Chain A
Amino acid sequence: KQEVTQIPAALSVPEGENLVLNCSFTDSAIYNLQWFRQDPGKGLTSLLLIQSSQREQTSGRLNASLDKSSGRSTLYIAASQPGDSATYLCAVDPQGGSEKLVFGKGTKLTVNP
């Protein structure tokens, strides 16, 4: 059974700091991995999608990497801003067409001005 873990559960940093959020998964047979952002009381916004054949994806100040063999992904946020404060969720789309996206419980990020 695929399990996804995100550490730390919460992170507080000063504005301007570069930071890394971690995601680990137990089964390396994945189709892709997706990072989402969720603001309080809101829905999930997709940030980055990494296909299983890819090693990383970039969007603006965000960079996500994927190491399938070790079951790890990281989300790097450069020059953090207070507007980056949110919960970041990692989700694995398992291989084999199971259509069952498996989520971690998220990292709650607070960027202090």
Chain B
Amino acid sequence: NAGVTQTPKFQVLKTGQSMTLQCAQDMNHEYMSWYRQDPGMGLRLIHYSVGAGITDQGEVPNGYNVSRSTTEDFPLRLLSAAPSQTSVYFCASRGRDGAYGYTFGSGTRLTVV
């Protein structure tokens, strides 16, 4: 099905480990972004990209890296996992004109122990 695909769906990490959350979309959307969702905090923007080769920081970027080498993919890297990064992570995308709004992936539930 067309849309935004996130992998893995669930992950448990030990403190200090690194990992990459994958996000891919097949709608040729220019804009892609990563959010984290925490109880009582709502959804907060981590990083976003307006096209291949262009990324920028959102509201809570510390501890995360991103790159955008292709239009389709926007991976999120945790450099050295901390318990504070336990959260649900969502990837989203939209076309340049925004006519159809944002499409979200199904999320990755990450636990750091």
Contacts and interface: CB of A to CB of B under 8 A. Distances in A.
Contacts of A106: 42
Interface centre among A31, A44, A93, A106 (most CB of B within 10 A): A44
Tell me whether chain A's interface is mostly helix, strand or loop, or mixed: strand
A100 B45 contact: yes
Tell me whether chain B's interface is mostly helix, strand or loop, or mixed: strand
Please tell me the size bucket of the interface on B: 20 to 34
A34 B106 contact: no
Interface string A84-109: 00000101010001011101111000
Interface residues of A, number: 23
Contacts of A104: 42
B71 interface: no
A101 B42 contact: no
A101 B103 contact: no
Interface of A: 31-32, 34, 36, 41-46, 49, 51, 89, 91, 93, 97, 99-101, 103-106
Interface of B: 31, 33, 35, 40, 42-43, 45, 48, 50, 58-59, 90, 92, 98-107, 109
